[in-house]
Amino acid sequence: MINIKRIVILILLFAFNVQSQSYKENDFDISRKNFKLKLRDDVSLDCTSFTPNIAKPLTGFPCIVYCHGFGKTKEDNLANAAAYARFGFITFTFSMRGQGNSEGESNLISEIEADDLKDVIDYIKKDILVDKKRIAVIGSSQGGIVPLMAACDGLDVNCLISDLISPDFASNWIGNGCIKMSLLWSLSYSPDIVRYNNEVKSFRNWILSGKRDKWDSLLYCIPRQRDFSSSINENKIPVFISNSFEDKYFSSNSIIENLSNFSENTKFYFGAIEGHGSITTEDEDAYHDKSMKEWLDKHLNNIDPDEKINFAASLSSLPIENNIWSFQRLYSNTSLFENASRIKFYLHPSNIITELPYIGDTTSFTFKNIITDSTFTMNEAVNFEFRGDYFDLKFIKQRLVFDSEPLVWNYNVLGIPKLHLVYKSGKPVCQFNFQIYEVFSDGTSKFVSSINYTDRNYVKGKLKKTDISGDALGHIFTAHNKIRIVLTNLDTREYDNFLRSNPYVLPVLESSVNIIYTGGKEGSYIELPLKE
């Protein structure tokens, strides 16, 4: 879903191009039609279309279809749809099954919803007013995932704009053995917002139970009919994909890892767009809007874009204004993530990180997870929003801090950070949350990214080595500042208005004593990708 505050900008950008199609007016009267569309399984979707009250162009009107985010409805897209109709487009929006006034039950963003969209497009193509060769689909989150999933399975339109997505979004929700808070939130909507089918209803209870067999069920059921990175190369439709590095729902990892599987008709933006707890700036907002406008112009109006590049990435950096990073944008016609050098920061028992491995006598340190009451449940923790005297009495937050020396030069970090972890635990389930910060000269710090890992298959007392991918990031660590790594058992982020007091991933509610090994080149370290 495109943010409503952008409508005026986008309307002005589109005005010239609609006029170039021999329209004499640029603000047409429009007609609105509300109707029900019956799908292949007799479920009816609640739909709205807008049509300009002008003579039909020779080949028909170009058409834009809007898809809404999860827990939203067609109402969230009506203003945009009406605005574009006034400039000569037929526009169409609908509420997905199980949401709004549409019938049926949601399958939590899946092949079922993708098939629904294909039915919607088949209906639109039967409209004699629509130019079948000029149809675009636009959406964000669920509204961006479903069209791309459908495109990988035969959807036939002219172009897509998909924001805040991941082709392995379901696995991303439970990545590295962790369960994101945003997944639990998505499963907690009341029936007046989302009506789930029976299997999806069970997911929330499985998460809150904390039981091993329920985790195994989540691991099997959640990616099924949802992840689709294996079929990305089947998509032939031009698609503009935009993601944010601060996305609290889906990281950019799956897109970065599958870049070679996307067709040459794909454009990428990584950086800062609004949604899923991400932040943006006026400059990034305007750049994203302009890129979307040019993408639609190219594929609906056959107008060459001013910017002929396939990759853009915006790296967060100083200065900070109103607790928001500034951004520096990089451009390329080839992947910006290729040929990155990687730098290792080794953990030392003395609470520092350096580029040199630790060689002292003490080759480990202890990291504890302390739960004072074995009867304390995840449901209680969630209800207390992981805060307050009662929660603090039951769950003792641990925080070990490791700082680098002041940096000699800027570190331009772009890509997926990695953790090489060598450890032992006294329990069969253990969790390690590594947060990455930049520390400024005045001693304050600001969060950048994280690497979260929960071992749910640990053999008690066994030395284990593993390599873990963290959330992709784009950030410039400034010379003379420090890089800080924080190891914690509760991944909360200070001044995060989206998560508030809630953790990024749900913690483990079982006490454990964990030993992390640091000696030599095989000791534990964080690895960051550097962009030259």
pLDDT of residue 26: 53
pLDDT of residue 8: 37
Strand-pairing partners, residue 432, are 453
Round the average pLDDT of the chain to a whole number and report it.
92
pLDDT of residue 221: 97
Alpha-carbon distance values, 191 to 122, 146, 173, 487 (Å): 29, 21, 22, 38
Give the distance from CA 227 to its chain's centroid. Answer: 14
Q: Which pLDDT tens digit goes with each residue over 92-105?
A: 999 999 999 999 99
pLDDT of residue 160: 98
Dihedrals phi, psi of 321, to nearest 5 degrees: -130, 125
Site of tokens 């991933």: 505
CATH-assigned architecture of domain 341-530? Sandwich (2.60)
Do the beta carbons of residue 246 and residue 279 sit within 8 Å? yes
Q: What is the DSSP letter of 427?
A: S
Q: To which H or E segment does residue 219 belong?
A: helix 212-221
Does domain 4-332 fall into CATH 3.40.50.2300?
Answer: no
> What are the strands, taking DSSP E only, across 88-129?
90-94
Written as six digits, the tokens of 159 are 């172009």
Q: Which pLDDT tens digit goes with each residue over 241-264?
A: 999 999 999 999 999 999 999 999
Comparing CA positions, the residue from 238, 243, 236, 233 lying closest to residue 267 is 238
Write down the domain spans for the chain. Answer: 4-332, 341-530
Report, as ranges of residue numbers, the positions in the chain whose pLDDT lies below 50. Answer: 1-25
| CA gap 77, 169 in Å, rounded | 23
| CA gap 480, 274 in Å, rounded | 30
Region class of 322: left (phi > 0), else alpha (psi between -120 and 50), else beta? left
| CA gap 234, 456 in Å, rounded | 34
pLDDT of residue 521: 86
pLDDT of residue 13: 37
Give the distance from CA 99 to its chain's centroid. Answer: 21
